Amino acid sequence: MPNKQDGYVCANCKAYSKISKKILIIKLGAIGDVIRTTPLLRKYKDLYPGCHITWISDYTEVLPKSWIDHIIPMTSRKMMEVSHTQYDIAINLDKEPEACILLKQVAAHEKYGYTWEDGIVPATPAAEAKLLTGLFDELSKQNKASYIHEIFSICHLEYSDERYILDIDQKYLGQWKEKLGKETTLPIIGLNTGAGQRWPTRQWPLEYWEFLIEALQGKGYFCVLLGGKDEHENNIKLNEKTGAWYPGHFSVQQFIALIAKCDLIVSQVTMAMHLCLALNRKLVLMNNIFNPYEFDLFDLGEIIQPEKECDCYFGSSCVHGESCMKYISPTSVAVAVERQLSPKQEKLESNYSLKYDF
C-alpha cells in the first residue's frame, strides 16, 4: 500500500516501522474470557512499543481490531502461517488440547500458559496454580486472585490496573441513541435476564425480575430487557407484564452498542457482565456458583450473593433440587442499583413499598 499510495520502495520507505516484538496470543473462548483477557494488550503495547500482536480466537467479533494486527479464527487457513512464523512471545491461556498442541508447535523464544506433552501441562511453573484450581474445587475455593491477576502472573507480568478493551460500532451506537432518545430521558437500567444454558443454576426466577422491574420503574428508572434468543420468550413475558422495553435480540456488535447506552446493568455471570465492565458501565452482579474473588469489578459495581450459602460450586444442577438464586431478593438488588447510581443515599431498602411473596 505505501508503494501504491506514495511510490515508496524498500530502500527509502518512509512508512516503514520496525516491529519490536512479535507476540502470539491464543485465547479461543469462552466469549467472556476472551474479553477479560484483553488487558494483556495494554500491557504488551506499553512494554514493547511497536510490537506486532496476533490473536487466535473462536470469538473474533469481540476482539478490538484497533489494538491487534492479526485476528485469526482457529479454523482459518492462515493457521498454516502461524505455525511457520517465528514469534518472540507466544501465550496460550486455554486448557484445551487443540490450543495446547498449537502452542507446542509454534516457534517462539518465550512461551507462557499451557502446552502439550502427551497431555496438558504448564509451559512454565507460573501456570501450574491455575491448572490445579481448574481441576480441584478445594483449591479453587481458596483462590483469592482475580482472573486478570492470574493471567498476568501466568505471563510473568506485573498487573497495574490494565482494563478490558472493546470496540464499539458507531453505526449501531447511533441507532440506539436515536431509538432510546425517542423512548426516554430517564436513567437507563439494562436487565440481562438470562444466564446461558451451560449452568442453569445461575438463573434468577422470572417473578423476581418482574418485581425488580416494578420497583425500579417506581423509582423513575427506564428498564431495558436484554438477552439473546434463549431469553426471548421470557423477555416477551416480562414486557407484557411490566411494560419494560424489549427491543429484541441482536448480533454481538449491536448488543455491545445497546449496553453502551445503559447507565447500569443488572446481570448474572454472563457475557453481558464482561461487556458492561469493558464499556465502563455500572454493574450489579448476581453470583452464586462461582468464586467471587475471580471477578474484578474495578470501581464499577458490586456483587450480590444468596443469603444462604451455595453448595453447588461450579454446578450445572443443584444438589438440593432448587437453585439458591431464590435467596437473592429482588429488594436487595433494587437497593444495590440505587446504591451504585446514588452512592450517597443510605437506608434505601425501607423506601420500597412493593411487597412480594414467592
pLDDT for the residue 186: 87
Band of pLDDT at residue 352, cut at 50, 70 and 90? low
Q: What is the pLDDT of residues 310-330, one digit of tens each?
A: 777 777 677 666 778 888 999
Band of pLDDT at residue 201, cut at 50, 70 and 90? confident
Q: Say whether pLDDT at 133 is over 60.
A: yes
CA 204 – CA 210 distance, rounded (Å): 11
pLDDT for the residue 21: 97
The pTM for the full model equals 0.89
Do residues 291 and 149 lie in contact, with contact meaning Cβ atoms separated by under 8 Å? no
What's CA 266's distance to the chain center, in Å?
Answer: 14
DSSP string of 289-324?
A: SS-GGG---TTSEEEE--SSPP--TT-SS-TTSS-G
| 170-351 CATH | 3.40.50.2000
The amino acid at 213: I
- Which segments of the chain belong to CATH 3.40.50.2000? 170-351
CA 26 – CA 112 distance, rounded (Å): 10
Q: What is the pLDDT of residues 210-235, one digit of tens each?
A: 999 999 999 999 999 999 999 999 99
Q: What is the pLDDT of residues 2-37, one digit of tens each?
A: 999 999 998 889 888 899 999 999 999 899 999 999
Band of pLDDT at residue 346, cut at 50, 70 and 90? very low
**Residue 302: which of 335, 259, 260, 336 has the closest Cα?**
336
Indicate the CATH number of 15-154 among 3.40.1160.10, 3.90.1150.150, 3.40.50.720, 3.40.640.10.
Answer: 3.40.50.720
- Which segments of the chain belong to CATH 3.40.50.720? 15-154
Cβ-Cβ contacts under 8 Å for 274 (sequence gap 6 or more): 31, 32, 35, 36, 164
**Residue 225: which of 211, 209, 202 has the closest Cα?**
209
